[in-house]
Structure 1
Amino acid sequence: MSQASVVLVEDDTALRESLTEILELQDFSVTAFSSADQALPTLQYNSHCVVISDIRMPNMDGMTFLKHLQQLDAELPVILISGHADIETALACIKLGAFDFVEKPLRPEHLLGLTTKAMQHRLLTLENRRLRQNTPQHVSLDEVLIGQSDAMQKLKQRLITLANADVNIVINGETGTGKEKVARALHNESVRKEKPFVAINCGAMPENLIESELFGHEAGSFTGASKKRIGKIEHASGGTLFLDEIESMPLSAQIRLLRVLQEGELERVGSNQTVRVDLKVLAAAKGDLFALSQREAFRQDLYYRLNVASIDIPPLRERKTDIPLLLSHFIHEAEQRLGQKAPPLTSVHFQHLMIHDWPGNVRELMNESDRIVLGISDLIFTGNPASCQSLSHQLAQFELSVLHHMLLLCKGHIGEAAEHLDIPRKTLYLRMKKYGIKKDNYLNNDEESAE
């Protein structure tokens, strides 16, 4: 298929013809089939199309059709239609990878809107695939720094602003917030990304070797120096140097580093010759580097050379809305690494996670994810449940009340209720699943028979 089109699969002849006419009146090119097994051979990876299919059909039902299409092309948008809709069916479709789920009787404007969104999504997917074939693969910032809270959005914006500013930067953050991850992201988003990123933990280096490690040495410059060594700073030239726990750097090394920043050159240990270096220096400390410099525990002149700009990483307790997203990511990684599935988590478990202060920040949550997968988490599997007067419990009760009253008002019509609540249908289905709300309880007899 050379042009973007709609592949329609519907065994009801009258409905198939009606839907074809509706779609074609909106300038969609439609290829219609009466069965899924007829449509399947016409589709392939990178097909320029969107699929709309009924669920209940002879030979091959819509769910089986969807599974085949997912194997063929997992990013092909598939909109499924059912006249026997329930929450379990909708969630099963979404879990299998359906773009969306529509219940009968169909509202033409809703179907057209979904088809337009699916078409835009498909064209964007195909364009991204084309670009990936012609350019090196690049991991997005959202994949590296996980979180959509206001605090994380501000951090990402700050990072993008400073990535290509060729200045030295101090990264401030508590233990476990991911200072090295932010440093790597600064490098990968910059014009220096093709050159080395060199990370050094100054606190982990023996004091008698740190100058040799940083600046390199000539053969015979000290006992054991049998041959010339290129130091970390010289190796990072053209790229980015990240100095973690820089407050642990001995005074003599601080003085030599200051000269590198001032003059753009260094001397290897045991050499009188200078070597030109071009690098961007990122620095981080366990504590407040400014306060350390004010107490003369760290050279003030070096601090001001390093702190041309700064980035502050928020602690996890200040962005708790990111916990579900982070937890999902870490649990998935832990399942792959440990070779077992995590036990299901309830709303009570999440309450424990949300009220915890996370002094170890993201690193603590990562370790907690391993314990959850192993079933040994003391944080969520033991202890007293949160009080029924807790904020999370009261918010849950309020949300349940809002859903109940809206479904009563809309007489169980999911699309209408989602529209009034200004949330996607998928979100409403998931909320109903969470609270055990059944659509059938809100339908009157006429509507049940109509569907």
Structure 2
Amino acid sequence: MSDQVIVVDDEAAIREAIQQWLELSGLAVRTCGSADAAMALVDHDYPGIVISDVRMPGSDGLQLLDRLMQLDADLPVILITGHGDVPMAVQALRQGAYDFIEKPFAPERLLDSVRRALDKRRLVCENRQLRRQVADKGRIESQLIGMSRAMENLRRQILELAGTSVNVLIRGETGSGKELVARSLHEFSPRTEKPFVALNCAAIPETIFESELFGHESGAFTGAQARRIGRMEHADGGTLFLDEVESMPLAQQVKLLRVLQEKTLERLGSNKSIKVDLRVISAAKPDLREEVQAGRFREDLLYRLNVATLQIPPLRERREDIPLLFEHFASEAARRHEREVPPLAPGQLAQLLSHDWPGNVRELANAAERHALGLSAAAVEEPAAVQSLAQQMERFEAQCLRQALQQCRGNIAAVMEQLQLPRRTLNEKMQRHGLSRTDYLPGGAE
């Protein structure tokens, strides 16, 4: 979203002066001589703010404020007057004005208020977009939230694979959402009406692993007092999700491979073959090829499981998604605990964006829940000495470039205009941060 400002004043000289001040600061400005002209430019999702004089013929600034608040109560409106007094300022603020500035004023005073108002508007628009995504429960965007190119690519790959029956291996760090991706593959597939069965291979003791996976007959071993249907049989017609598959015992890897090859299984303690039709989705943290080389994983099973691979990007590589995800998790937590979401304090958003999130989305969700409960989000509070000021500025600059390239879909001219940078400077900065416009073109096209 570009920083847009509408300036409303019946005096052309004042409109032009304010426009010049703001445009020199890199803002996109449109001017209007009346309240009616301004209303024609604003809708409920206008991605900017309004600055208006109070004393104008026809509809004055207070009347314009009232009309704008009826259209969108979250739209920041800054009022300016040379005839202001305390009662008028109080009335304006009660009506919903963001700020009230009295003439004559220093340009810096207005610019500071404008920048704060634009920051607020940007968050409001982003949160509305998130809520629209989440409200549409039939769309994958409501399950895999994010506007980054990495998440767009992941959702596209999921939808392409969901309609097939191939086995999929999901790679991703701890807390990155591997089970959520697996569930999406199932829910957007023809198997969606059948069971989705999840098994964490690292959480099952080796002594009962075979029974858990394949089931057993009564009396198959000491303590087996009744027949048990295993996870694979229960997933018949649907999807079996094997999380942390690298932890599966080698003896069970052999049996799993045979089931995948023959599409039949035998319960422990039985010689009867049972046909099963299932799709296997696996997830692993380490590279399974390295596990094969180390002798901890069967190569032939890897080929069966890894027909297609999905790589989940860590949260630190898609920082532009952090505000949307944080708002979503905080709102969900507040709803569960029946309370209002407290606003982010100054600097907290910058902390969220600068944190590396080693625990990924799971860690962010935990921080958001603590925030919703009014507790310290300790996960994002790092010692100031962790990074120098220069390092933090470099990281912030890289994030601004990535976000502009994403929003402009690789259009360099649009990025130059948005960031107010000459071509040579932009090229140098992109090269220094390892950014390429081709990574942001629609569909990855040149």
* TM class by smaller structure: 0.5 to 0.7
- In structure 2, the CA distance between the partners of 1:139 and 1:272, relative to structure 1 (3 Å rule), is same
Note the 1:353-392 alignment, pairs <5 A. Answer: 353-373=352-372, 374-380=374-380, 383-384=383-384, 389=390
Q: Secondary structure at the match of 2:211?
A: helix
Cα distance in 1 for residues equivalent to 2:150 and 2:329: 20
Equivalent residue letter for 1:335:
A
1:157 aligns with 2:156: yes
Is the contact made by 1:315 and 1:361 (CA closer than 8 Å) also made in structure 2? yes
Q: Is the 8 A contact 1:202 1:244 kept in 2?
A: yes
Q: Distance in 2 between matches of 1:212 and 1:248?
A: 16
In structure 2, the residue matched to 1:230 is 229
Residue equivalent to 2:262 = 263
Matched, 1:254 2:253: yes
1:179-258 → structure 2 map (5 Å cutoff): 179-258=178-257
- Which one-letter code corresponds to 1:376 in the other structure? S
How many angstroms apart in 2 are the aligned matches of 1:220 and 1:211? 15
Contact 1:281 1:306 in 2 (8 A): yes
Where does residue 437 of structure 2 map in the other structure? none
1:383 CA displacement: 4.5
Instruction: State the 1:138 CA deviation.
Output: 4.8
* C-alpha distance 138-193 of structure 1, shift in aligned 2 (>3 A): farther
| SS of residue matched to 1:171 | strand
- Distance in 1, matches of 2:382 and 2:341, equals 16
- The aligned counterpart of 2:308 is 309
Tell me the distance in 1 between the aligned counterparts of 2:382 and 2:287. 36
With structure 2 as the length reference, what TM-score do the two structures score? 0.58
Structure 1 residue 370: Cα displacement: 2.0
1:34-433 matched pairs, under 5 angstroms: 138-346=137-345, 348-373=347-372, 374-380=374-380, 383-384=383-384, 389=390
In 2, distance between residues paired with 1:258 and 1:239? 18
CA–CA distance in 1 between the matches of 2:137 and 2:369?
28
Tell me which amino acid in the other structure corresponds to 2:320: T
Residue 172 of structure 1: how far off its partner (Å): 0.5
Paired residue type of 1:357: D
Instruction: Determine helix, strand or coil for the equivalent of 2:280.
Output: strand
CA drift of 1:354 comes to 1.7
CA offsets 1:26-65 (integer angstroms, 9 cap, x no match)? xxxxxxxxxxxxxxxxxxxxxxxxxxxx9988xxx76897
Deviation at 1:381, TM superposition (A): 6.0
Q: Distance in 1 between matches of 2:355 and 2:164?
A: 37
Q: Give me the whole-angstrom Cα distance separating, in 1, the residues matched to 2:395 and 2:298.
A: 51
Q: CA deviation at 1:192?
A: 0.6
Q: Is the 8 A contact 2:69 2:96 kept in 1?
A: no
Root-mean-square deviation (CA), in Å? 4.2
Corresponding letter in the other structure for 1:276: K
Cα drift, residue 139 of structure 1: 3.1
Question: SS in structure 2 opposite 1:176?
Answer: coil
1:38 is aligned to none
Q: Pick closer, same or farther for the CA change 1:177–1:380 going to 2, 3 Å.
A: closer
1:223 to partner: Cα distance = 1.4
Residues in 2 aligned to 1:161 and 1:190: alpha-carbon distance in whole angstroms: 10
Aligned twin of 1:449: none
Q: Which residue does the alignment assign to 1:448?
A: none
CA–CA separation in structure 2 for the residues paired with 1:85 and 1:262? 75
Q: Kindly tell me: are residues 93 and 259 of structure 1, through their superposed partners in 2, closer, same or farther at Cα, counting changes over 3 Å?
A: farther
State the secondary structure of the residue aligned to 1:159: helix
Rounded Cα–Cα distance in structure 2 between residues aligned with 1:337 and 1:85: 42
Shift of 1:390: 5.8
Return the TM-score normalized by structure 1: 0.58
Asked whether the 8 Å contact 2:351–2:381 carries over to 1, the reply is no
CA distance in 1, matches of 2:80, 2:255: 71
* DSSP 3-state at the match of 1:283: strand
2:298 partner amino acid: R
Q: CA deviation at 1:294?
A: 2.0
Partners of 1:172 and 1:207 lie apart in 2 by 24
AA at the equivalent of 1:277? V
The CA deviation at 1:238 is: 0.6
Summarize deviations over 1:154-182 as a string: whole Å, max 9, x none. 11111111111211111000111010000
Provide Cα deviations, 1:85-120, integer angstroms capped at 9, x if missing partner: 99x99x9699xxxxxxxxxxxxxxxxxxxxxxxxxx
Q: Structure 2 vs 1, CA of residues 216 and 63 (structure 1 numbering), >3 Å: closer, same or farther?
A: same
What is the Cα deviation at residue 319 of structure 1? 0.7
User: Aligned partners of 1:422 and 1:292: how far apart in 2?
Assistant: 47
* Cα deviation, residue 208, structure 1: 1.4
Q: Tell me how far apart the structure 1 counterparts of residues 190 and 337 of structure 2 sit (CA, whole Å).
A: 37
In the TM superposition, residue 304 of structure 1 has moved relative to its aligned partner by: 0.9
The question of whether the paired residues in 2 share the 8 Å contact of 1:215 and 1:268 is answered with yes
Secondary structure, aligned partner of 1:208 = helix
**2:371–2:377 contact (8 Å) kept in structure 1:** yes
Q: Distance in 2 between matches of 1:262 and 1:337?
A: 45
Structure 1 unaligned blocks of 5 or more? 1-14, 23-53, 67-76, 95-124, 126-131, 400-419, 424-451
Amino acid at match of 2:239: T
User: Any gaps of 5 or more consecutive residues in structure 2?
Assistant: 1-33, 41-59, 82-91, 99-131, 401-415, 420-446
Q: Conserved in 2, the CA contact under 8 Å of 1:195 and 1:238?
A: yes
The letter for the 2-side match of 1:173 is: G
Contact 2:367/2:378 (<8 A) preserved:
no
User: In 2, Cα distance between the equivalents of 1:151 and 1:354?
Assistant: 17
Change (3 A) 1:360 1:249: same
Change (3 A) 1:356 1:266: same
Alpha-carbon spacing, 1:306–1:276, altered in 2? closer, same or farther (3 Å): same
Structure 2 vs 1, CA of residues 190 and 62 (structure 1 numbering), >3 Å: closer, same or farther? Answer: same
